[in-house]
Structure 1
Amino acid sequence: MFPASSLTANIPIRTECPPGTCICDRETLLNDPAGDMRVLQLTRMEEKKLILRIENISSYADLKHVAERMQTQLGISLHIVPGPNEVRTVRGLHIELLERPGLCKKIRQTIPAAVRKCLDRNPEIVYAILDAHDLFGGD
Protein backbone atom coordinates (compact mmCIF):
# COMPACT_ATOMS: atom_id res chain seq x y z
CA MET A 1 0.00 0.00 0.00
CA PHE A 2 2.47 2.63 1.20
CA PRO A 3 6.18 2.44 0.37
CA ALA A 4 8.22 1.94 3.53
CA SER A 5 10.48 4.91 2.88
CA SER A 6 7.60 7.38 2.48
CA LEU A 7 5.78 5.96 5.50
CA THR A 8 8.72 6.19 7.85
CA ALA A 9 9.66 9.64 6.59
CA ASN A 10 6.24 11.27 7.11
CA ILE A 11 4.33 9.27 9.72
CA PRO A 12 5.52 8.07 13.10
CA ILE A 13 5.58 4.28 13.28
CA ARG A 14 5.61 1.86 16.17
CA THR A 15 9.03 1.30 17.70
CA GLU A 16 10.28 -2.22 17.42
CA CYS A 17 9.86 -4.64 20.27
CA PRO A 18 12.91 -5.88 22.20
CA PRO A 19 14.66 -8.72 20.33
CA GLY A 20 13.17 -12.14 20.97
CA THR A 21 9.96 -10.88 22.60
CA CYS A 22 7.74 -10.49 19.54
CA ILE A 23 6.91 -12.39 16.38
CA CYS A 24 5.50 -9.45 14.43
CA ASP A 25 7.94 -9.78 11.53
CA ARG A 26 8.27 -5.98 11.46
CA GLU A 27 11.60 -5.89 9.62
CA THR A 28 10.33 -8.07 6.78
CA LEU A 29 7.34 -5.77 6.42
CA LEU A 30 9.54 -2.67 6.38
CA ASN A 31 11.74 -4.21 3.68
CA ASP A 32 8.77 -5.18 1.48
CA PRO A 33 7.99 -2.28 -0.89
CA ALA A 34 4.53 -3.75 -1.55
CA GLY A 35 3.77 -4.42 2.13
CA ASP A 36 0.76 -2.87 3.87
CA MET A 37 2.41 -0.57 6.43
CA ARG A 38 -0.79 0.80 7.99
CA VAL A 39 -0.50 -1.42 11.07
CA LEU A 40 2.82 0.20 11.96
CA GLN A 41 1.01 3.53 12.42
CA LEU A 42 -0.39 2.13 15.68
CA THR A 43 2.27 3.59 17.96
CA ARG A 44 2.20 2.85 21.67
CA MET A 45 0.45 6.19 22.32
CA GLU A 46 -2.14 5.48 19.63
CA GLU A 47 -2.58 1.97 21.01
CA LYS A 48 -3.46 3.42 24.42
CA LYS A 49 -6.04 5.71 22.81
CA LEU A 50 -7.53 2.79 20.87
CA ILE A 51 -7.72 0.59 23.98
CA LEU A 52 -9.47 3.38 25.89
CA ARG A 53 -11.89 3.86 22.98
CA ILE A 54 -12.67 0.14 22.85
CA GLU A 55 -13.21 -0.08 26.60
CA ASN A 56 -15.73 2.78 26.39
CA ILE A 57 -17.87 1.24 23.64
CA SER A 58 -21.50 1.21 24.73
CA SER A 59 -23.40 -0.43 21.87
CA TYR A 60 -23.11 -3.15 19.26
CA ALA A 61 -23.29 -0.55 16.49
CA ASP A 62 -20.40 1.33 18.08
CA LEU A 63 -18.37 -1.90 18.36
CA LYS A 64 -18.94 -2.62 14.67
CA HIS A 65 -17.98 0.96 13.79
CA VAL A 66 -14.70 0.76 15.74
CA ALA A 67 -13.91 -2.61 14.12
CA GLU A 68 -14.56 -1.12 10.66
CA ARG A 69 -12.32 1.88 11.42
CA MET A 70 -9.54 -0.42 12.63
CA GLN A 71 -9.81 -2.34 9.35
CA THR A 72 -9.88 0.80 7.21
CA GLN A 73 -7.19 2.82 8.96
CA LEU A 74 -4.84 0.12 10.23
CA GLY A 75 -5.66 -3.01 8.24
CA ILE A 76 -6.45 -4.86 11.50
CA SER A 77 -9.32 -7.35 11.27
CA LEU A 78 -11.18 -7.94 14.53
CA HIS A 79 -13.41 -11.01 14.65
CA ILE A 80 -15.83 -11.75 17.47
CA VAL A 81 -17.81 -14.97 17.17
CA PRO A 82 -19.43 -17.37 19.60
CA GLY A 83 -17.09 -20.17 20.61
CA PRO A 84 -17.69 -23.77 19.58
CA ASN A 85 -19.21 -24.62 22.97
CA GLU A 86 -22.07 -23.10 24.90
CA VAL A 87 -21.73 -19.36 25.53
CA ARG A 88 -22.52 -18.66 29.18
CA THR A 89 -20.16 -15.75 29.74
CA VAL A 90 -18.03 -13.38 27.71
CA ARG A 91 -15.27 -16.03 27.92
CA GLY A 92 -17.41 -18.16 25.60
CA LEU A 93 -16.88 -15.70 22.77
CA HIS A 94 -13.91 -16.11 20.46
CA ILE A 95 -12.24 -12.69 20.06
CA GLU A 96 -9.22 -12.47 17.80
CA LEU A 97 -7.20 -10.30 15.48
CA LEU A 98 -6.29 -11.94 12.20
CA GLU A 99 -2.58 -12.61 11.84
CA ARG A 100 -0.64 -10.22 9.63
CA PRO A 101 2.94 -8.98 9.35
CA GLY A 102 3.69 -6.03 11.60
CA LEU A 103 0.96 -6.81 14.13
CA CYS A 104 2.74 -6.81 17.47
CA LYS A 105 2.21 -9.67 19.92
CA LYS A 106 1.20 -7.16 22.58
CA ILE A 107 -1.52 -5.66 20.35
CA ARG A 108 -2.83 -9.17 19.64
CA GLN A 109 -3.38 -9.48 23.39
CA THR A 110 -4.45 -5.98 24.45
CA ILE A 111 -7.19 -5.37 21.88
CA PRO A 112 -9.09 -8.62 22.60
CA ALA A 113 -8.66 -7.97 26.35
CA ALA A 114 -10.15 -4.48 25.92
CA VAL A 115 -13.07 -5.94 23.95
CA ARG A 116 -13.69 -8.48 26.73
CA LYS A 117 -13.64 -5.70 29.31
CA CYS A 118 -16.16 -3.74 27.24
CA LEU A 119 -18.40 -6.79 26.85
CA ASP A 120 -18.22 -7.55 30.58
CA ARG A 121 -19.59 -4.06 31.24
CA ASN A 122 -22.22 -4.22 28.49
CA PRO A 123 -23.97 -7.60 28.36
CA GLU A 124 -26.47 -6.19 25.84
CA ILE A 125 -23.63 -6.10 23.29
CA VAL A 126 -22.98 -9.81 23.94
CA TYR A 127 -26.68 -10.53 23.30
CA ALA A 128 -26.49 -8.53 20.06
CA ILE A 129 -23.43 -10.54 18.96
CA LEU A 130 -25.23 -13.80 19.73
CA ASP A 131 -28.33 -12.57 17.93
CA ALA A 132 -26.23 -11.55 14.90
CA HIS A 133 -24.95 -15.13 14.75
CA ASP A 134 -28.51 -16.48 15.08
CA LEU A 135 -27.85 -18.29 18.33
CA PHE A 136 -31.24 -17.30 19.70
CA GLY A 137 -32.86 -19.32 16.90
CA GLY A 138 -34.94 -16.62 15.20
CA ASP A 139 -36.46 -19.10 12.71
Structure 2
Amino acid sequence: MNSSNATRQPCPPGACNCEREQLVEIPGGDTRILLLTRSEEKRLLERLESVSSLEDLEHMQRRMYQQLGIRVSIAPGFNEVRSMRGIVIDIAEQIGLCRKTRQAIPAAIRRALEQRPEIAYRLLDSHDLLRDA
Protein backbone atom coordinates (compact mmCIF):
# COMPACT_ATOMS: atom_id res chain seq x y z
CA MET A 1 0.00 0.00 0.00
CA ASN A 2 1.22 3.45 -0.78
CA SER A 3 1.68 5.90 2.05
CA SER A 4 -0.11 8.63 0.11
CA ASN A 5 -3.26 10.22 1.45
CA ALA A 6 -5.40 9.21 -1.54
CA THR A 7 -8.82 8.00 -0.49
CA ARG A 8 -11.45 6.01 -2.28
CA GLN A 9 -13.97 8.00 -4.27
CA PRO A 10 -17.54 7.79 -2.98
CA CYS A 11 -19.87 5.30 -4.64
CA PRO A 12 -22.71 6.68 -6.74
CA PRO A 13 -25.81 7.44 -4.64
CA GLY A 14 -28.00 4.37 -4.18
CA ALA A 15 -25.42 2.01 -5.71
CA CYS A 16 -23.78 0.94 -2.46
CA ASN A 17 -24.51 0.50 1.23
CA CYS A 18 -20.99 1.26 2.49
CA GLU A 19 -22.11 4.27 4.55
CA ARG A 20 -18.89 6.10 3.67
CA GLU A 21 -20.37 9.47 4.64
CA GLN A 22 -21.14 8.24 8.16
CA LEU A 23 -17.59 6.97 8.56
CA VAL A 24 -16.13 10.33 7.52
CA GLU A 25 -18.39 12.17 10.01
CA ILE A 26 -17.44 10.00 13.02
CA PRO A 27 -14.74 11.82 15.01
CA GLY A 28 -11.81 9.48 15.57
CA GLY A 29 -13.38 6.80 13.35
CA ASP A 30 -11.26 4.10 11.74
CA THR A 31 -10.85 5.47 8.22
CA ARG A 32 -8.17 2.98 7.12
CA ILE A 33 -10.65 1.36 4.73
CA LEU A 34 -10.86 4.60 2.75
CA LEU A 35 -7.20 4.12 1.76
CA LEU A 36 -8.33 1.23 -0.45
CA THR A 37 -8.64 3.08 -3.74
CA ARG A 38 -9.89 1.28 -6.82
CA SER A 39 -6.34 0.73 -8.10
CA GLU A 40 -5.21 -0.58 -4.68
CA GLU A 41 -8.27 -2.83 -4.57
CA LYS A 42 -7.27 -4.29 -7.93
CA ARG A 43 -3.75 -4.95 -6.62
CA LEU A 44 -5.18 -6.57 -3.47
CA LEU A 45 -7.45 -8.87 -5.48
CA GLU A 46 -4.57 -9.88 -7.77
CA ARG A 47 -2.43 -10.63 -4.72
CA LEU A 48 -5.20 -12.70 -3.12
CA GLU A 49 -5.61 -14.72 -6.32
CA SER A 50 -1.89 -15.46 -6.38
CA VAL A 51 -1.44 -16.79 -2.83
CA SER A 52 0.86 -19.79 -2.85
CA SER A 53 0.19 -21.47 0.49
CA LEU A 54 -2.07 -21.46 3.53
CA GLU A 55 0.58 -19.47 5.41
CA ASP A 56 0.59 -16.88 2.62
CA LEU A 57 -3.21 -16.63 2.78
CA GLU A 58 -3.11 -16.20 6.56
CA HIS A 59 -0.43 -13.53 6.13
CA MET A 60 -2.73 -11.68 3.71
CA GLN A 61 -5.57 -11.89 6.22
CA ARG A 62 -3.37 -10.31 8.89
CA ARG A 63 -2.15 -7.56 6.51
CA MET A 64 -5.69 -6.70 5.40
CA TYR A 65 -6.64 -6.22 9.04
CA GLN A 66 -3.52 -4.25 9.94
CA GLN A 67 -3.65 -1.93 6.95
CA LEU A 68 -7.37 -1.65 6.21
CA GLY A 69 -9.24 -3.03 9.21
CA ILE A 70 -10.84 -5.79 7.09
CA ARG A 71 -11.45 -8.98 9.07
CA VAL A 72 -11.68 -12.04 6.83
CA SER A 73 -12.37 -15.49 8.26
CA ILE A 74 -11.96 -18.63 6.19
CA ALA A 75 -13.17 -21.99 7.47
CA PRO A 76 -14.84 -25.17 6.30
CA GLY A 77 -18.62 -24.95 6.24
CA PHE A 78 -20.77 -26.69 8.83
CA ASN A 79 -21.81 -29.40 6.39
CA GLU A 80 -19.58 -31.60 4.29
CA VAL A 81 -17.13 -29.77 2.02
CA ARG A 82 -17.41 -31.17 -1.49
CA SER A 83 -16.15 -28.17 -3.43
CA MET A 84 -14.64 -24.74 -2.81
CA ARG A 85 -18.21 -23.48 -2.28
CA GLY A 86 -18.27 -25.49 0.95
CA ILE A 87 -15.55 -23.29 2.41
CA VAL A 88 -17.06 -20.29 4.20
CA ILE A 89 -15.32 -16.99 3.57
CA ASP A 90 -16.79 -14.31 5.79
CA ILE A 91 -15.98 -10.61 5.91
CA ALA A 92 -16.94 -8.83 9.13
CA GLU A 93 -19.33 -5.90 8.83
CA GLN A 94 -17.42 -2.67 8.48
CA ILE A 95 -18.60 0.85 7.77
CA GLY A 96 -16.90 2.18 4.64
CA LEU A 97 -16.29 -1.20 2.98
CA CYS A 98 -17.87 -1.08 -0.48
CA ARG A 99 -20.44 -3.73 -1.39
CA LYS A 100 -18.50 -4.71 -4.51
CA THR A 101 -15.28 -5.10 -2.53
CA ARG A 102 -17.12 -7.20 0.05
CA GLN A 103 -18.07 -9.58 -2.79
CA ALA A 104 -14.78 -9.41 -4.72
CA ILE A 105 -12.49 -10.48 -1.85
CA PRO A 106 -14.15 -13.88 -1.24
CA ALA A 107 -14.36 -14.46 -5.01
CA ALA A 108 -10.61 -13.83 -5.36
CA ILE A 109 -9.85 -16.19 -2.48
CA ARG A 110 -12.07 -18.90 -4.00
CA ARG A 111 -10.28 -18.54 -7.34
CA ALA A 112 -6.95 -19.00 -5.55
CA LEU A 113 -8.24 -22.10 -3.76
CA GLU A 114 -9.53 -23.54 -7.03
CA GLN A 115 -6.18 -22.93 -8.74
CA ARG A 116 -4.25 -24.45 -5.82
CA PRO A 117 -6.40 -27.11 -4.13
CA GLU A 118 -3.51 -28.02 -1.81
CA ILE A 119 -4.23 -24.76 0.07
CA ALA A 120 -7.83 -25.88 0.61
CA TYR A 121 -6.62 -29.30 1.81
CA ARG A 122 -4.27 -27.63 4.32
CA LEU A 123 -7.15 -25.41 5.45
CA LEU A 124 -9.34 -28.46 6.01
CA ASP A 125 -6.54 -30.23 7.88
CA SER A 126 -5.97 -27.19 10.09
CA HIS A 127 -9.63 -27.33 11.12
CA ASP A 128 -9.45 -31.04 11.95
CA LEU A 129 -10.87 -32.64 8.83
CA LEU A 130 -11.79 -35.82 10.71
CA ARG A 131 -13.42 -34.15 13.74
CA ASP A 132 -16.68 -36.15 13.48
CA ALA A 133 -15.10 -39.53 12.63
User: Percent sequence identity over matched residues?
Assistant: 52
Q: Which structure 2 residues correspond to residues 1-139 of structure 1 after superposition, within 5 A?
A: 11-137=5-131
**Separation in 2 of the partners of 1:136 and 1:19?**
48
Residues 87 and 93, structure 1, Cα contact 8 Å, conserved in 2: yes
Q: In the alignment, what sits opposite 1:7?
A: none
TM-score by length of 1: 0.89
User: What are structure 1's unaligned runs of at least 5 residues?
Assistant: 1-9
Give the paired residue count. 129
Q: In the alignment, what sits opposite 1:5?
A: none
Equivalent AA in structure 2 for residue 100 of structure 1: Q
Aligned partner of residue 102 in structure 1, secondary structure: coil
TM-score by length of 2: 0.93
Residues 82 and 92, structure 1, Cα contact 8 Å, conserved in 2: yes
**Separation in 1 of the partners of 2:71 and 2:116?**
22
RMSD of aligned residue pairs (Cα, Å): 1.2
Equivalent AA in structure 1 for residue 103 of structure 2: Q
Aligned partner of residue 75 in structure 2, secondary structure: strand
Q: In the alignment, what sits opposite 1:6?
A: none
1:31-81 Cα offsets, whole Å, 9 max, x none, are 001210001100000000000001111100100001100010000011111
Residue 136 of structure 1: how far off its partner (Å): 3.0
User: What are structure 2's unaligned runs of at least 5 residues?
Assistant: none
